[in-house]
Amino acid sequence: MEYLRRPILHVEVRVRGNENSMIIRTDLIREEITKWLLENFVVLSLGQEISSFEGLQEPHTHVIESILVADCSGGDRESGAYRIHQIELDVQAYQLRTPFEQDSPQHTQSLEECIEDKDNDPKTKILSLPSSDLDGLWESLQFDQPLKFTLLRGITRMVSFSAQNLDKWTINWNRLILLWGPPGTGKTSLCRGLSQKLAIRIGKYYPRSKLVEINAHSLGSKFFGESGKLVSKTFENIETLLEEEEDTFVCVVIDEIETLAARRERALGGNEPFDAVRAVNALLTGLDRLKNHGNVVVICTSNLITALDQAFLDRVDIKQYVPRLSGRTIYGIYKQCLEELNRCEIIEGSAFDVIQVNPEDPQTALQYVEQTTETLILPTFDEMILNYRMFPDGVPKQLGDAALESVGLSGRTIRRLPALSLVLYDYHPRCSVRVAVFALRRGIATERASSSAAGAESTSSPFHLTVTASVATALALGSAAYLYGQEAFASTPAEEGLHPTAYPWEHAKWNKTFDHAALRRGFQVYREVCASCHSLTRVPWRSFVGVMHTVDEMKAMAEENEYDTEPNDQGEIEKRPGKLSDYMPGPYKNEEAARAANAGALPPDLSLIVKGRHGGCDYIFSLLTGYPDEPPAGASVQEGMNFNPYFPGTAIGMGRVLFDGVVEYEDGTPATTSQMAKDVVEFLNWAAEPEMDDRKKMGVKSIALLTGLFAVSVWVKRYKWSPIKTRKIVYSPPVSRR
């Protein structure tokens, strides 16, 4: 039982190209490499590449190109190092296939010819795996979570289970995987990378593998009834391939599956032709036929999971959401791109370090050092945060800022920006990495400006009103509605706290609106300082759109959080990424967890804190800025409490949280304590009443309308009704004639 719980270390052995038509036994290579590793190594590390094969038998030394420690199942990926006798080795030998190498050209030809139509559009692309065309794709994929490794292990075990001839009536699965998420997150590349890695990982079960990419768009036809026939014919020939080559593993990839698996009820309820329903039926029937073969896996991608037919979703075994890229992942992509440009001698090499000014004195200040080298060596994201964040002019910090500015952009855009920026903003044949990063930031700014121009145009115009003297009386009445009555002062601070100073808040004036720049800064202060303890659960993500952030920015923030879905048919509640309609989550799961983390105190929700506290904005501002360095003479504060004269009782559990420079504003505003307090108070005032600006606008419109109606009524009364009401009416009955 102890052996079964060992981590499994996956080792990939690449065999050289077979130039002399020599027969290479990969099974013998696996056994020999496993024995050689156990005898010659004590520790193996993830990512370790072995190119020296001393002690290996002579025939195998010449055919092996490299040995790579690729992955570990069940171990700790953070450490990355494993003792050889505490793990189980899974060695796989493989040889890259070129596009001209086809194991069985007759099947490939029949599969392609059988689905040709009159337009001669390519319906499928078939590739022998592992392919040289896909070499390096897996390593270039970067995600926030170990997404690709989790999928690879899951699909590998799924195929290995199927190889055990499970009873299909007892264990019902389709080996169907769906990758869904926003456009440009790497779903299609992940499908191809998974196919390449699966062909290597399951080499002991299937010596040959193929990738079949189905072009979903080309299966549609302008002739009625042809789409369903094309889909059906495609799956029939894939099934024929599986039957005739039982020792070949086939990975079927269908990109943009919503083209073939759109909701049938929408097609029937709208004006779409019935042919679309036939195509969906043919797809579902084809998937049901493929599940009878254990040597096939179907991987699909979609940007619109809500547009997929429910019957198709019910057949999917693994539904994996691929999120947008975070700043950490984008930094890694930019690092890869810049290092590749350096390898091609487009960017000069550099090395970076942080040293002490006086190495003999550990108390001296740190100094940023940049040296010219042949190879570009950029620090990782964690190293940048740890060592280079305090040097804003350093190249690593500049690259980190560029990554944060790129959050919300698609993966395709991020991949092309480093080279495209040099093309557009630099004219030297070879430049330094500092110039490349500067050009990159210019390219990011241009891309973001062009992508958000439409949204900014509709939301950036402020509402300015000019009131004429003719409605002075009505405006006076409207202004009086904002005035407060006489307020009662506390007799001593110990009873209700010291009464806060009344500040002239600009947004509190009847003819003024919120400062949107201050709201954005206040939201940043809340996220980086306040959100660790306080919640904002009454504010949905969509409220920020058009006020502080764009739609894409808020979608990215919402998708960083997970929410419970509705229970499915089995009563299970799954997790899903956040949407704009969701409300902001709190830092703790429940009240007990909040009290446990705060020494028994319960941090209040800040959604309505400005409206729910006497003094409103003045009280919150005074509380945040009212912490003295030392309690005044005679003031007694319990252990674990902090003195604040504005808090009732003067003893508060929350310590001072705002210090000069604790937040680095995006717009360059100096982050002083008072500035941060002002910004976060204005943001909390907006959170308590997001509709305040609209309310003021509606009030002015209503007053203007009522004033106009009043003037009309005066005119009607004076010139229309008064003559009528004072007019003498005489009734003269008709006189009969005799």
Query: Is 473 part of any domain?
Result: no
Bind-site residues: 530, 533-534, 654
- pLDDT for the residue 64: 85
Separation of alpha carbons 622 and 625, rounded Å: 5
Percent of the chain surpassing pLDDT 70: 85
Task: Give the predicted TM-score (pTM) of the model.
Answer: 0.57
638 contact partners, CB below 8 Å, separation of at least 6: 651
Residue 507 DSSP one-character state? G
CA distance 73 to 428: 47
Higher pLDDT, 75 or 303: 303
Q: Does 721 fall in a domain?
A: no
Q: Which residue is listed with tokens 């520790």?
A: 43
Same domain for 295 and 360? no
pLDDT in tens, 487-539: 444 444 445 567 888 888 888 888 888 888 999 999 999 999 998 899 998 99
In a domain, 459, yes or no: no
pLDDT for 23: 65
The model's pLDDT over 79-108, given as tens digits with 9 standing for 90+, comes to 678 888 888 898 998 888 887 655 544 444
Report how far residue 311's alpha carbon sits from residue 667's, in angstroms, rounded to the nearest whole number: 50
Total number of domains constituting the chain? 4
User: What pLDDT, on a 0 to 100 scale, did the predictor assign at position 70?
Assistant: 87
Query: What is d(CA 573, CA 168) in angstroms, rounded to the nearest whole number?
Result: 27
Q: What is the pLDDT of residue 449?
A: 86
- Would you say residue 479 lies in a domain? no
Please give the pLDDT value at position 115.
Answer: 46
Higher pLDDT among residues 57 and 567, named by residue: 567
On whether residue 413 sits in a domain, the answer given is yes
Dihedral of CA atoms 214, 217, 219, 224 in degrees, nearest 10, equals 170
The CATH number of the domain holding residue 218 is: 3.40.50.300
Residue 303 sits in the same domain as residue 337: no
Note whether residue 30 is domain-resident. yes
Closest residue by Cα to residue 542 from 584, 586, 581, 585: 581
Q: Please report the pLDDT score of residue 267 as a whole number.
A: 63
Task: Check: CB of residue 615 under 8 Å from CB of residue 499.
Answer: yes
Mean pLDDT across the chain: 83
| Confidence class for position 259, pLDDT limits 50, 70, 90 | confident
Residue 207 confidence (pLDDT)? 86
Q: Which of residues 557 and 222 earns the better pLDDT score?
A: 557
**Whole-number pLDDT of residue 596:** 85
> How would residue 396 be classed by pLDDT, with cut points 50, 70 and 90?
very high
The one-letter amino acid at 388: Y
Annotated binding residues for heme c, as ranges?
Answer: 530, 533-534, 654
Q: Which of 267, 301, 321 delimits the end of a domain?
A: 321
Check whether residue 155 and residue 294 sit in a common domain: yes
**Of the ranges 105-109, 334-338, 370-374, 469-473, which one carries the lowest mean pLDDT score?**
105-109
The pLDDT of residue 694 is: 87
The per-residue DSSP string of 403-456 comes to HHHTTTS-HHHHHHHHHHHHHHH---SSB-HHHHHHHHHHHHHHHHHHHSHHHH
**Beta strands 8-15; 88-95: pairing state:** parallel
Q: Is pLDDT at 179 greater than 50 in this prediction? A: yes
pLDDT of residue 334: 94
Residue 629 CB contacts under 8 Å (≥ 6 apart), including other chains: none
Determine the residue type at 553.
E
- Do 119 and 195 fall into the same domain? yes
Together in a domain, 509 and 579: yes
The strand pairing partners of 91, in sequence order, are 11
Closest CA to 676 of 608, 738, 621: 621
Q: What pLDDT, on a 0 to 100 scale, did the predictor assign at position 702?
A: 93
Residue whose C-alpha is closest to residue 202's, from 30, 74, 77: 30
For residues 371 and 494, the model is more confident at: 371
- Residue 737 included in any domain: no
Pair 246, 340 in one domain: no
Starting from the edge strand earliest in sequence, which strands make up the sheet with 318-321, in order? 124-129, 208-214, 248-254, 296-302, 176-180, 318-321
* Residue 119 and residue 221 in one domain: yes
Taking CA atoms, 735 is separated from 728, 730, 732, in Å, by 21, 15, 9
Tell me the average pLDDT across 261-284: 74
Local confidence band at 454 (pLDDT 50, 70, 90 cut-offs): very low
Within a domain: residue 399?
yes
pLDDT at 462: 44
If asked whether residues 199 and 294 sit together in one domain, one would say: yes
- Given a cut of 90, whether residue 18 has pLDDT beyond it is no
Residue whose tokens read 């004036």? 509
pLDDT at res. 263: 83
Single residue among 660, 688, 716 that ends a domain in this structure: 688
Whether residue 139 sits in one domain with residue 223: yes
pLDDT band at 111 (very low <50, low <70, confident <90, very high): low
| pLDDT the model gives residue 143 | 86
- Per-residue CA distances from 231 to 128, 295, 441 (Å): 22, 20, 46
Does 79 lie in the same domain as 138? no
pLDDT of residue 300 exceeding 90, the answer is yes
- Tell me which H or E stretch contains 481: none
Q: What is the CATH number of the domain that holds 536?
A: 1.10.760.10
Which one has a higher pLDDT value, 461 or 192? Answer: 192
Residues whose CB falls within 8 Å of the CB of residue 150, separated by 6 or more in sequence, listed in order:
none
pLDDT band at 434 (very low <50, low <70, confident <90, very high): very high
Strands 296-302 and 248-254: parallel
**571-611 tens-digit pLDDT:** 788 889 999 999 999 998 888 888 888 878 889 999 999 98
Q: What is the pLDDT of residue 648?
A: 85
Residue 45's CATH number: 3.10.330
Residues 60 and 183 in one domain: no
Give whole-number Cα distances, 670 to 22, 243, 283, in Å: 71, 70, 60
Pairing of strands 208-214, 248-254: parallel
Whole-angstrom Cα distance, residue 168 to residue 381? Answer: 47
Range of the domain at 437: 327-454
Q: What share of the chain is helix, strand, coil (3-state, %, to 5)?
A: 45, 15, 40
Peptide bond preceding 183: is omega within 30 degrees of 0, i.e. cis?
A: no
Average pLDDT over residues 277-297: 89
Regarding whether 220 and 185 lie in a shared domain, the answer is yes
Concatenated DSSP letters of 611-641 = HHSTTTHHHHHHHHH---SSPPTT----TT-
* Chain-centroid distance, C-alpha 570: 29
pLDDT in tens, 618-658: 999 998 998 888 888 777 778 878 888 888 888 888 888 89
Among 644, 661, 688, which residue terminates a domain? 688
Condensed to tens digits (0 to 9), the pLDDT of residues 304-357 reads 888 898 999 999 999 999 988 889 999 999 999 999 999 999 999 999 999 888
